[in-house]
Amino acid sequence: MKKLFTILTSALLMFGAVAPALAVETAPSVGVATVVSTSIKLERKQIREEFKEKQKDIRDDFKEKRQEVRDELKDKMKDLRDEFRKKRDELMHKLVRRELTLRGELTAMSSTSLTVKVSNVRPDFHQQWASVSSSTFPAKDTLVTVKIDNKTKVVRRFNGKSSLDELTVGDTMQIVGRLNDDGTVSARVVKDDSIQLSHRVYHGTIASLDATAQSFSMTLMSSSSVAFMVRTSATTKFRVPGVTSTSFANLQVGNKVWVRGFVNTRTKTIDANVVKVKLPEVAPVPAPTPTSTPSPASTASSTP
């Protein structure tokens, strides 16, 4: 026991001697940790502030760039809209409401143009007629130049195919085409309402013959006051009863004929396809009147 007590006492003495040294060594360690922690906090705060500033700078720079891009896009969109409007206006100038239909009388013609005195035009003049002035717009009783090219379609009254050779000054015309800035019309369709290929047969009597022109005047059977000039050609077919090979020379004044061909109702002319001479009408032979024969009985009674 005495030995154990001695050991414990020595240990306590030793601890008492070491404890102040430990306290002295621990105090500076705690102060350094606090300084380090504070320094770290300050550095964190500084880094955060720098990050925020950089983030703010980045945002401001982004906003500035975005605004620049938006402005640039607006300018480009404006340029595109302006270009689109320009193209649209050019297209409207060429196409919008520039096709018209006019009617009138043919007053002159050549191989490339017709001159028509307007009696009616549709549609009426409108502001959408682009650069065409109202002073050059086709109006009633004005003369309009109609341009013709190889794409122009020429037809008769019922849309049968025709050509410029069949047109005659004075015919009633119907023109469908595009109105030009100078007031002329580029024709798409030229229709002559005065001519037609008639399947009707015209019956009449030959009033006169013109061997040089190969034509004859024919008075209609339905009305003696109406006469047509019938023009024949190398393609006209002649039919004369009893004649095998027929021609214009077989026709005679007074022949009753029927004619079929191209008719101009205004000029009263027929370009004949077929001319047929009718058989002369034969007057019926009257039946003989029977005579009465006296009977034998009546003869005997009359003898004295």
What CA–CA distance (Å, rounded) separates 170 from 30? Answer: 126
| Size (the chain), residues | 304
- Cβ-based neighbours of 174, under 8 Å, separated by 6 or more: 101, 102, 103, 189, 190, 191, 193
Contact 163, 135 (CB under 8 A): no
Cis peptide before 123 (omega within 30 of 0): yes
Domain layout of the chain by residue ranges: 8-95, 99-194, 198-277
| pLDDT at site 181 | 78
Rg (CA), the chain: 58
- Cβ-based neighbours of 121, under 8 Å, separated by 6 or more: 100, 101, 102, 103, 138, 139, 140
Q: Which CATH architecture has domain 99-194?
A: Beta Barrel (2.40)
Burial status of residue 6 (CB atoms within 10 A of its CB: 0-12, 13-18, 19 or more): exposed
The candidate with the shortest Cα–Cα distance to 279, out of 253, 247, 241, is 241
Side-chain-side CA neighbours of residue 200 (13 Å)? 10
Model pTM score: 0.52
Running along the chain, 304 residues long, what does each successive block of 10 average in pLDDT?
A: 57 54 51 77 85 87 88 90 83 64 93 93 65 69 93 90 88 91 89 86 92 93 84 92 88 92 89 88 59 56 48
What CA–CA distance (Å, rounded) separates 110 from 114? Answer: 6
Name the amino acid, one letter, at 206. I
| pLDDT at site 294 | 59
Q: Tell me whether the CATH fold assigned to 99-194 matches the one assigned to 198-277.
A: yes
What CA–CA distance (Å, rounded) separates 123 from 118? Answer: 13
Instruction: Select the CATH number that applies to the domain covering 198-277 from these four: 2.40.30.10, 2.40.50.320, 2.60.120.200, 2.60.120.10.
Output: 2.40.50.320
